[in-house]
């Protein structure tokens, strides 16, 4: 598909040496792939393009800022630096890191790719990013690298901003990434922990939830990663010590037949390896008959975006499930012997103080206090550029103009007590994490705080009814949160 590692003599004659600001034309062309953060997971989205680029004869180096610092020696002389932004927090870190990356690799063409790249295109270009790629980005990244290698010139982007065509998936090349043992671990209720590998069986999503960042890019489409590629990836990670696989698909049951093939293959080859996945509430109910099979194949827990326990808010978000469905999904997973890890958008412009207390109450009723990572109780609705929420009649009256500092449209609740509570819960969650408080301890403080905001005394919590601790990853799943100081200190 691609030329060899050197540009053709004709191309070099047409494009003089040093046109990219000092990269010598006879030096091997080197690409550096950077991951700002991906929830403590070893990133598939670095390992997969690394395989593509290496196959085409490029030198590739990877830097995972979740665990590594920006190394000047790695960046020096790079012809291409490509930064992966798969989530809001990663994009915030990338925006902060770009000036430093440009200083360390002044001759490199800068590319930003991943889900959050197209929706932040304007800002990224203002920061000096030459190429922005979303969707199935590997062909664009490869074509860009090939063009840079053959012409040694920057030039304007000719690759599509969003590519949704079907691509060839290769077995991800994870050799340039830190060892799995340094990433998030699986914490078991008995206090033991396991090394986690991370795989993706699909990308995109066939649903159109209004607040979801997948939607503006994939527009209701999803793409399958072939079973043999996923299994080859899992095989290599098991060889690196993985004892549990966390599937990073936006929704594992977008293609339930594919999902079953994957987990059956996993079970057949690695009977001792467990897994977790993300599945929407509606799919848990519609495919309830498959849950026992997931359990048999080693599923320990399912993360599901419940988002709210208020039917009006669920309607605004177009979640296609009701508040009652939350309880149904919990019951179905319990029946199957699989733990349920719900996620929430706890604060929205429609959330009332009473509604927030209602969310906490529902978590207690369903015995899920130990199942909810505290960060889920302070998540504030993010409205990125291109969000389908902007199409909701009247929604634009609730928000302000796009603010590049937060990569979204700010909004203030009409009841300032709600915003104040969100800020205080967020600060509590941050300090509780540092102090190592148990989930039930943090929940009790939030319970008291929420009632206090209403001017009420919180009813005592039944200490015997927090629910049982569940297996979970040591870094919780979320879409958007402020980068921490530690995350911003790696460059």
Residues that bind ligand SF4 (CB under 6 A): 205, 207, 209, 212, 214-215, 250-251, 280, 305
CB of 285 to ligand SF4, least distance (A): 13
Residues 6+ apart with CB under 8 A from 231: 262, 265, 266, 269
Cα 349 from Cα 320, distance rounded (Å): 20
Output 35 or 387, the one with its CB closest to ligand SF4. 387
Q: How many residues comprise the chain?
A: 491
Cα 64 from Cα 42, distance rounded (Å): 8
Output 283 or 490, the one with its CB closest to ligand SF4. 283
Output 207 or 439, the one with its CB closest to ligand SF4. 207
Percent helix, strand, coil in the chain (nearest 5)?
40, 15, 45
Output 251 or 370, the one with its CB closest to ligand SF4. 251
Output 78 or 375, the one with its CB closest to ligand SF4. 375
CB contact at 8 A, 457 and 447: no
Q: In the structure, how many helices (H) and strands (E) does the chain have?
A: 17, 15
> Quick one: tokens of 194?
């396991």
CB of 305 to ligand SF4, least distance (A): 5
CB of 209 to ligand SF4, least distance (A): 3
DSSP string, 186-244: EEPTTS-EEEEEEE-SEEE-S---TT-THHHHHTT-EEEPPHHHHHHHHHHHHHTT-SE
Output 173 or 251, the one with its CB closest to ligand SF4. 251
CB of 319 to ligand SF4, least distance (A): 7
CB of 121 to ligand SF4, least distance (A): 21
CB of 405 to ligand SF4, least distance (A): 25
CB of 382 to ligand SF4, least distance (A): 12
CB of 479 to ligand SF4, least distance (A): 9
Residue reference for tokens 């030096």: 27
Residues 6+ apart with CB under 8 A from 379: 343, 344, 345, 346, 347, 478, 479, 480, 481
Output 214 or 372, the one with its CB closest to ligand SF4. 214
CB of 287 to ligand SF4, least distance (A): 13
| 64: helix, strand or coil | strand
CA distance between the termini of the chain? 35
CB contact at 8 A, 371 and 445: no
Output 212 or 231, the one with its CB closest to ligand SF4. 212
* Beta sheet of 299-307, edge-to-edge order: 339-344, 299-307, 274-278, 244-247, 193-199, 185-187, 472-473
CB of 206 to ligand SF4, least distance (A): 7
Cα 381 from Cα 383, distance rounded (Å): 6
Output 85 or 195, the one with its CB closest to ligand SF4. 85
Residue reference for tokens 């010139």: 153
Angle CA(142)–CA(227)–CA(111) in degrees, nearest 5?
20
CB of 282 to ligand SF4, least distance (A): 8
CB contact at 8 A, 239 and 209: no
Instruction: Name which of 192, 175, 210, 208 is nearest 61 in CA terms.
Output: 175
CB-hemisphere CA count at 13 Å for 108? 28
Output 215 or 359, the one with its CB closest to ligand SF4. 215
Output 209 or 273, the one with its CB closest to ligand SF4. 209
Cα 87 from Cα 480, distance rounded (Å): 7
Output 129 or 212, the one with its CB closest to ligand SF4. 212
Cα 267 from Cα 252, distance rounded (Å): 16
CB of 205 to ligand SF4, least distance (A): 3
Output 127 or 390, the one with its CB closest to ligand SF4. 390
Residue reference for tokens 């060899």: 4
* Alpha helices (H) in 36-76, listed in sequence order: 44-55, 72-75
CB of 208 to ligand SF4, least distance (A): 6
């Amino acid at each position: 598909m691609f030329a060899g590692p050197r540009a053709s003599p004709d191309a070099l004659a047409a494009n003089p040496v040093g046109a990219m600001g000092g990269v010598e034309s006879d030096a091997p062309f080197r690409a550096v792939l950077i991951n700002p953060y991906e929830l403590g997971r070893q990133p598939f989205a670095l390992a997969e393009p690394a395989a593509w680029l290496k196959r085409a004869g490029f030198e590739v180096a990877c830097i995972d800022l979740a665990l590594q610092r920006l190394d000047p020696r790695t960046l020096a002389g790079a012809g291409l630096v490509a930064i992966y932004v798969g989530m809001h927090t990663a994009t915030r870190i990338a925006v902060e890191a770009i000036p430093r990356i440009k200083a360390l690799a002044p001759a490199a063409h800068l590319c930003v790719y991943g889900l959050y790249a197209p929706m932040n295109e304007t800002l990224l270009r203002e920061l000096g990013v030459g190429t922005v790629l979303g969707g199935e980005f590997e062909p664009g990244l490869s074509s860009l690298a090939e063009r840079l290698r053959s012409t040694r010139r920057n030039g304007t982007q000719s690759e599509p901003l969003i590519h949704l065509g079907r691509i060839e998936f290769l077995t991800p090349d994870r050799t340039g990434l830190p060892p799995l043992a340094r990433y998030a671990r699986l914490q078991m209720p008995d206090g033991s922990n396991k090394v986690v590998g991370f795989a993706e069986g699909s990308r995109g999503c066939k649903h159109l939830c209004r607040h979801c960042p997948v939607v503006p890019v994939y527009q209701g489409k999803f793409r399958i990663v072939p079973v043999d590629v996923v299994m080859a990836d899992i095989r290599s990670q098991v060889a690196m010590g993985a004892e549990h696989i966390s599937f990073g698909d936006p929704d594992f049951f977008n293609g339930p037949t594919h999902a079953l093939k994957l987990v059956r293959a996993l079970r057949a080859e690695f009977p001792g390896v467990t897994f977790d996945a993300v599945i929407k509430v509606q799919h848990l109910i519609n495919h309830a008959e498959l849950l026992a099979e997931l359990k048999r194949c080693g599923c320990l827990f399912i993360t599901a975006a419940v988002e709210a326990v208020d039917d009006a808010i669920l309607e605004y978000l177009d979640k296609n499930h009701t508040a009652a469905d939350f309880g149904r999904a919990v019951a179905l997973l319990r029946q199957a012997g699989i733990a349920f890890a719900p996620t929430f958008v706890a604060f929205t412009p429609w959330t009332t103080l009473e509604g927030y207390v209602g969310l906490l109450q529902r978590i207690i009723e369903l015995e899920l206090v130990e199942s909810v990572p505290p960060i889920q109780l302070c998540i504030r609705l993010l409205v990125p550029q291109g969000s389908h929420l902007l199409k909701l009649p009247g929604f634009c009256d609730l928000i302000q103009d796009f603010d590049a500092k937060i990569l979204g449209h700010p909004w203030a609740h009409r009841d300032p007590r709600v915003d104040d509570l969100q800020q205080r819960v967020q600060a509590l969650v941050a300090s509780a994490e540092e102090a190592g408080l148990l989930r039930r301890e943090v929940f009790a403080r939030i319970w008291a705080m929420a009632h206090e905001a209403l001017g009420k005394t919180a009813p005592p919590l039944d200490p015997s009814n927090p629910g049982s601790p569940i297996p979970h990853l040591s870094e919780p799943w979320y879409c958007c949160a402020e980068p921490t100081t530690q995350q911003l200190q790696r460059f």
